[in-house]
């Protein structure tokens, strides 16, 4: 919970910077998409964090879409992000520098870790994750000048992952 209060403050600050509450020139009911990816045992905490962000967003717009694991599939996220002015993602990150296999096409890097039936049992869960990297992210169609907020991601915003040293600038 300690990390979500600064997140809510940041959300409100960004909302005020982009004209929320809506000014005459701003969209009348801007869209906010809140996504919680599959993160194993921490997914419940991220859903709780996202519910707090949802409550804050609803103070400024009625157009808030939630897509939470275990239902955060690529097709649902793509639909939720369409036209969104603010996109909030809580979940796994996968980027550089990291100790994992180099992916020259970034198909798993710099994107979202979402629900996918990895084992083919016909059920989605908080434990089965597929990374949708840069090529997938380029397919998204948010509103022009959308703001994207990333929370709790490994290999985003200068983070490493639990148990590993933070990356250096070099």
Q: What is the pLDDT of residues 29-75, one digit of tens each?
A: 899 999 999 999 999 999 999 999 999 999 999 999 999 999 999 99
pLDDT tens digits, 99-138? 778 888 999 998 999 999 999 999 999 999 999 999 999 9
Number of H helices, E strands in the chain: 4, 6
Distance between CA atoms of 44 and 131, rounded to whole angstroms? 19
Instruction: Tell me the CB-side half-sphere exposure of residue 61, using CA atoms within 13 A.
Output: 25
Does residue 156 or residue 1 have the better pLDDT? 156
Higher-pLDDT residue of 18 and 161 is: 161
């Amino acid at each position: 919970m300690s990390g979500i209060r600064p997140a809510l403050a940041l959300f409100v600050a960004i909302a005020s910077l982009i004209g929320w509450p809506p000014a005459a020139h701003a969209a009348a009911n801007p869209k906010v998409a809140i996504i919680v990816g599959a993160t194993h045992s921490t997914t419940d905490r991220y859903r709780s964090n996202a519910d707090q962000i949802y409550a804050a967003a609803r103070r400024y717009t009625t157009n808030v879409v939630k897509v939470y694991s275990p239902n955060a599939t690529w097709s649902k996220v793509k639909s939720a992000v369409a036209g969104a002015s603010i996109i909030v993602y809580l979940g796994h990150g996968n980027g550089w520098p990291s100790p994992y296999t180099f992916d020259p096409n970034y198909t798993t890097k710099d994107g979202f870790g979402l629900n996918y039936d990895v084992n083919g049992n016909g059920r989605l869960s908080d434990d089965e994750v597929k990374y949708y990297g840069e090529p997938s992210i380029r397919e998204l169609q948010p509103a022009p000048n959308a703001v994207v907020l990333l929370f709790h991601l490994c290999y985003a915003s200068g983070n490493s992952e639990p148990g590993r040293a933070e990356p250096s600038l070099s």
